[in-house]
Amino acid sequence: MGIEEKVPSGFLLTTVEKFAGFARRGSLWPATFGLACCAIEMMATTGGRYDIARFGMEAFRASPRQADLMIVAGRVSQKMAPVLRQVYDQMAEPKWVLAMGVCASSGGMFNNYAVVQGVDHVVPVDIYLPGCPPRPEMLMNAIITLHHKIQEMPLGVNRELAIAEAEKAALASPTTLELKGLLR
């Protein structure tokens, strides 16, 4: 008989790791970081019609020190890249990055010397969202997908083990994206 059957109902059993994941995913604070047209859709997501507050993240922070999610909404110019990196470095750990739209994900139609061909050249990206621009529903879907990743994020020794495994996998295949997400 498992312990769940012995204790009276009303008890909730979990692990610190799962509880931390639950708390983190339910209280993401995005940094205000709109760069181009995609930012209009990001702003629409915070409005009453789409109401991102339902997911505990209506408070976009103007200071990166109070934010743990960077939504890169729009194309990144070469001039903006060092600024973006500085904002990322100022954000508190643990932190996540969402590349919103084709421009942020790969440079999109701006295949030229002035635009960074994917924000993953500057910061580690946790989730890529295609579209030009992605609609608010798509942004919410990407964020909820990211929530699952945050919920499963290992802590302490488990995190070190996961990093070691990702490093091993990266040696076998240098393009492994998992490593980017774990090594901060």
Q: Which is nearer to ligand SF4, 20 or 116 (CB)?
A: 116
Which two structure tokens, joined as six digits, stand for 171?
């040696």
From residue 90 to residue 129, the character string flagging contacts with ligand SF4 as x (rule: CB under 6 A) and all else as - is -----------xxx----x---------------------
Nearer to ligand SF4, 74 or 118 (CB): 74
List, in order, residues 6 or more apart from 103 with CB less than 8 Å away.
36, 38, 74, 75, 76, 109, 110, 115, 132
Tell me the per-residue interface mask from 31 to 50 with ligand SF4, x by CB under 6 A, - otherwise. Answer: -----xxx------------
Q: Which of 21, 74, 107, 118 lies at the binding interface for ligand SF4 (CB under 6 A)?
A: 74
Handedness of CA 88, 30, 182, 92 (dihedral sign): positive
Site string for ligand SF4, 7-36 (x = CB under 6 A): -----------------------------x
Contact between residue 58 and residue 105 where contact means Cβ atoms under 8 Å apart: no
Tally of CB atoms within 10 A around 148: 10
Our measurement of the distance from residue 118's CA atom to the centroid of its chain's CA atoms, rounded to an integer in Å, reads 15
Binding site for ligand SF4 (CB under 6 A): 36-38, 74-75, 101-103, 108, 132-133
